[in-house]
Every structure is written in structure tokens, then in C-alpha cells.
Structure 1
Amino acid sequence: MPTLDLWSNAANWQLRTLFRSALGSLLMVDNPTSSKPVYLCSPWISDFVVFDNRFCDFDVLVPSCSGTPRIWLSDCLRQLGKLHEVRVVSRNTEVSRQFFGRLGLSSGVETRYAADSLHEKGFLTPHFYFEGSMNVTYSGVHINAEKVAYHAGDDAVVVERIGRAYLELNRRWGQMAS
């Protein structure tokens, strides 16, 4: 299945489960086969719990959170930054500044603020690409009615879509001030 279209609402668990699974799969790869960065792009981005870790089920994915009951998006991105080059793009808003502050300067994650006209939302990796209406916030993943397309696999159409997304995000990244 190269592309999966999801329409979500507060009662729909598919989007948040897919988001968790995709992020978890990246955290399991300790020897990346690609030199391409992981991009997270969202006009609004905030911290939220990704993994319920009350039973330590996810300790292996984010060792720095071993024994803690909740693993947050910022924890996941810091761990991911140890495995891959990670680039996060957002507008310069109070919520985004707080999130970037939680990531920390030495997290291995590069952050940049885009122009206020940024409205693009996506999660791009060499293996999959989320795109659609979902902001990377608690509300975007858990509450709001969203439409997201998930592209994965080695189908020629998917490979081309991911390649085009990399061309565009790399170009935009280069235009933004660090």
C-alpha cells in the first residue's frame, strides 16, 4: 500500500497510532541507510505525549526516558537526533519557541523559523512522508478533524513524491536563516 489517506476526528485513533508507529520505526533504526535528513514542518508545533510508558514498554526507543511514565515528542526528537540529522521548521510563535526551548540547543536537532506565511505541514523521512492538514500539536494529532496522506514503500510514485518533497524542503531550508 503506497499511499494511505486518513480523515480523522477526536474519536479516530488511526492518525495518532500511525504517527506513533512511524516515529517509533525511525527510533528503532540505529544504523541509518540514508544520509537524508528527517524533516518535521508545521506552522504550529508543540510538545505532547507520544508514548504512554507507564509499563516501560518504550524504554528501548528513548533510553533517556527509561522508567518515566510519558515520552514526549521533544524526547523522541532528541533521541532521533542521535540517530539521524533532524530538521524542524515552524513559525516564530510563542508555542513554537517553547517547544524549541524544550528541545534544547545541544539536542542534535536543528530548528529554523520560517516566514509567517508558512502553512505547510509534513513529516518527511527517506522511508515515508506524511502530508496534509495536521499541525504537529496535541490538537492536530488527537483532537482536530484532519486529512493526512501517508506515503511509504518503494512504489515508483511514492519514491518520486518523497524525492520531490526533499528537493522542496532542502531548498526552503537553505533559504531560512539559522
Structure 2
Amino acid sequence: MSFETRRIFKSAVTSQNLIRELLQLMLLGELLAPSGERAWIVSPWISNVMLFDNRAGGFSSVNPEWGTREIRLIQVACDLAARGTPLGIVTSYDQHNAPFINAITSGLEEAGLSESVVIVQREHLHTKGVLLKRGLLTGSMNLTFRGLELNDEMVVYDTNAKTLAEARLNFESYVGVGE
């Protein structure tokens, strides 16, 4: 059985880990087989959320330097860039995002990878999505603790080539476009 589109309804009591597990699978696919295409993270509110619980060492083969700890978005983004996947991050001007933007900018600069990221802030951003070569996750969820853990959310995971191409064109339009 194959599928191209899956809808996930999440609340604090149903499908709580499903979205995080899907994000993990998407990101693992890109970390293990980098596509070289820009990975997009579009979220009006964004935080350095925990993506992989590596306290038991289950993900150490992906990156032995991770150690036995929680692995957060900024570390994963830096690893993607180090493996040749350019990044596009689009978020709003909300002050909530400033710590994330400052930390990811610093992390990429320290690693000598600042050229591999484009960070765009938009005044009226409401779009949300994570786009990689092989999949697109869109829906109501911001990439924050509340979005992943607390809020009721509906997301759609899509692998349809036409949908991915359309999303890529739309996300790429954020680069160099004014308000």
C-alpha cells in the first residue's frame, strides 16, 4: 500500500508523538542521503525544539558527536548544512523568534556555514511548512514546543512530486521578495 498524502490530527491526548516521529523520519532521510536541494522551514513562530531524544544513544550512528542528550532543531539544521543541504528559514518579525534566529545564525557562523542559510522575516506570515526533497509537512502547527506538544493541530504530509514542486516554487519566492 502506498500513499502520497496523509492527514494527522493531533491533540494533547491523541497522536501526540506522531508529528515529532514524522519530522524525525523526514530529517533522518535528508541527513543520511542529502539531496543538495534547499530545505525549507516556514513557521511564523519558531523555537529550538527538541527533535531527537538521543539520551539512550539510539541516534548516535547518525552523528556520533551528538552524544547522549536531546538534539534540538538548531543542531539538526547545522548538521544538514554541514552535509550539503542549504537551508531556508522563513518566520515572522515576532520577538519570540529572536533567540532562535540569533542562535542559529551564531551556530552556522561558528561552523563556517553561514553562506548555506537564508533567513527571511515577513510581516504577515501565516504559512507553515517543512519542505525537504522527499516530503512536505504543512498545516496549522508552528515549530514550537506548544505546536509539537500541547496544541491541537492538523497537519498534512505529502510526497506527491507536483505538490512538492509547487511548494518549492512558493517557498523559494520568499528569497529576495519584499513585504
Range class of TM-score, shorter chain: 0.7 to 0.9
* Distance in structure 2 (CA, Å) of the matches to 1:42 and 1:149: 15
- The answer to whether 1:64 aligns with 2:71 is no
User: What residue number does 2:176 align with?
Assistant: 174
Matches within 5 A, 1:31-70: 32=34, 34-65=35-66, 67-70=67-70
Q: Which moved more, 1:103-112 or 1:91-100?
A: 103-112
Contact 2:45 2:97 (C-alpha < 8 Å) held by counterparts: yes
Matches within 5 A, 1:1-178: 1-11=3-13, 12=15, 13-29=17-33, 32=34, 34-65=35-66, 67-83=67-83, 84-103=85-104, 104=106, 105-106=108-109, 108=113, 109-152=116-159, 158-176=160-178
Q: Which moved more, 1:81-90 or 1:18-27?
A: 18-27
TM norm structure 2: 0.86
* Distance in structure 1 (CA, Å) of the matches to 2:51 and 2:63: 11
DSSP 3-state at the match of 2:175: helix
User: What residue number does 1:155 align with?
Assistant: none
Contact 2:54 2:60 (C-alpha < 8 Å) held by counterparts: yes
* Distance in structure 2 (CA, Å) of the matches to 1:138 and 1:23: 18
Contact 1:50 1:71 (C-alpha < 8 Å) held by counterparts: yes
* Distance in structure 1 (CA, Å) of the matches to 2:6 and 2:37: 23
Q: What does the per-residue CA deviation read over 1:124-177, in whole Å, with 9 as the maximum and x for residues that have no partner?
A: 11210011101011111121111111012xxxxx11111111111111223159
Letter in 2 for 1:96: N
Letter in 1 for 2:41: L
* Distance in structure 1 (CA, Å) of the matches to 2:149 and 2:178: 30
Aligned length: 168
Identity, in percent, stands at 27
Cα-Cα RMSD = 1.8
Q: What does the per-residue CA deviation read over 1:68-101, in whole Å, with 9 as the maximum and x for residues that have no partner?
A: 3211111111101112111111112222110122
Q: Which moved more, 1:165-174 or 1:41-50?
A: 165-174
* Distance in structure 1 (CA, Å) of the matches to 2:101 and 2:41: 12
Unaligned runs of 5+ in 2: none
* Distance in structure 1 (CA, Å) of the matches to 2:55 and 2:36: 34
Over 3 Å counting, the alpha-carbon distance change for 1:48 and 1:5 in structure 2 is same
* Distance in structure 1 (CA, Å) of the matches to 2:149 and 2:132: 22
Contact 1:46 1:136 (C-alpha < 8 Å) held by counterparts: yes
The runs of at least 4 aligned residues of structure 1 exceeding 3 Å deviation read none
